[in-house]
Amino acid sequence: MGSLNHKAISASLYLLLSSLSFSAHANNPQLGMTGITLHNTRVIYPSTATNGVNYQLTNDTSVSYLLQARIQPWVPAATEQKQEGVVAADTQPSPKSFIALPPLQRIAPGETVTLLLRLKQADLPPQDSESIAVLALTAIPAEKSENVSTTPQMVIAVQNNVKLFYRPATLPQFDEDTINDQLQFVPTSTGITVKNPSAFYITFDRLTVGSHKVDLGSTRMVAPRSEQHWPVTLDNRPKNIEWQVVNDKGGVSDKIHQKQLPDS
């Protein structure tokens, strides 16, 4: 074996950043000033979409990318898994229920591409509630020819996850006001518990109890027919609860919902 080369080894790290980390707050998520623009930060797949649904993204960079698209199972945050009533993993669609086409493609600078998401009728998700999967997007940037050298180079791509909601036609018509009116807010000794008796997922953008803004952390979603608890300081006086939710496009709904929390 030859002697070790003591020259410094440079590594070029190309990071495809997520705007949602996918922060569910972005209406027109763009990855950096000149990045990959996702036309929506979530996908709603109605069971009536017999020909599938489209998902678009645009390469606003000056380099080409190789894009891989896959459907993966949704994995709740650790705090969500500990909550009573959270929908069990086996009620979620199998990743084999959906397919993303094409699974691999090149995106040139300035190009907009369209993915086709298809449901396999032979492996239908549950029909008694909305369910969730993940559209996993991984992009690897191409090396510019002038940057090619004999020095080892490392190219890193970051996977970004877009929530994919399957909405059966057997459910009641989706209506934000009706679903939010059904939410129940229960004060506890350690904070506030939100119960969601509906068949749909609810994702909070913000939640305020009285003058206290609830720290939602990384757990902002309440699954169908389940509950979620957040710590917040409460006293015995009635509290006004105010909240906003994330809409079907991944942006913040204009509607501000309110309820009055009775004495605990």
198 neighbors 177 (Cβ within 8 angstroms): no
Neighbours of 214 (CB within 10 A): 19
- Given this model, what pLDDT does residue 154 score? 61
**Res. 22 pLDDT band, cuts 50 70 90:** very low
- Give the integer Cα–Cα distance in Å for 71 and 133: 7
Start-to-end CA distance of the chain, whole Å, equals 75
Answer yes or no: is pLDDT of 33 > 80.
no
Neighbours of 247 (CB within 10 A): 18
β 98-101/36-38 pair status: unpaired
235 neighbors 158 (Cβ within 8 angstroms): no
235-241-242 Cα angle (round to 5): 145
**Secondary structure (3-state) at 2:** coil
Query: Which tokens in the block code for residue 223?
Result: 């699954």
Q: What is the pLDDT of residues 193-238, one digit of tens each?
A: 999 999 999 999 999 998 899 999 988 999 999 999 999 988 777 7
- Give the integer Cα–Cα distance in Å for 100 and 48: 18
More confident residue, 151 or 252: 252
Q: Among candidates 101, 43, 97, which has minimal Cα distance to 68?
A: 101
- Tell me which residue has tokens 């239908």: 124
- Given this model, what pLDDT does residue 261 score? 83
- Given this model, what pLDDT does residue 2 score? 44
Q: Among candidates 108, 158, 109, 159, which has minimal Cα distance to 135?
A: 159
Q: What is the pLDDT of residues 155-191, one digit of tens each?
A: 667 678 899 999 999 999 999 999 999 999 999 888 9
234 neighbors 214 (Cβ within 8 angstroms): no
Q: What is the pLDDT of residues 105-119, one digit of tens each?
A: 999 999 999 999 999
- Which domains can be identified in the chain, with CATH numbers? 36-167 (2.60.40.10), 176-261 (2.60.40.10)
Say if residue 102 is preceded by a cis peptide, omega within 30 of 0.
Answer: yes
110 neighbors 64 (Cβ within 8 angstroms): no
- Given this model, what pLDDT does residue 1 score? 45
What one-character DSSP code corresponds to residue 129? S
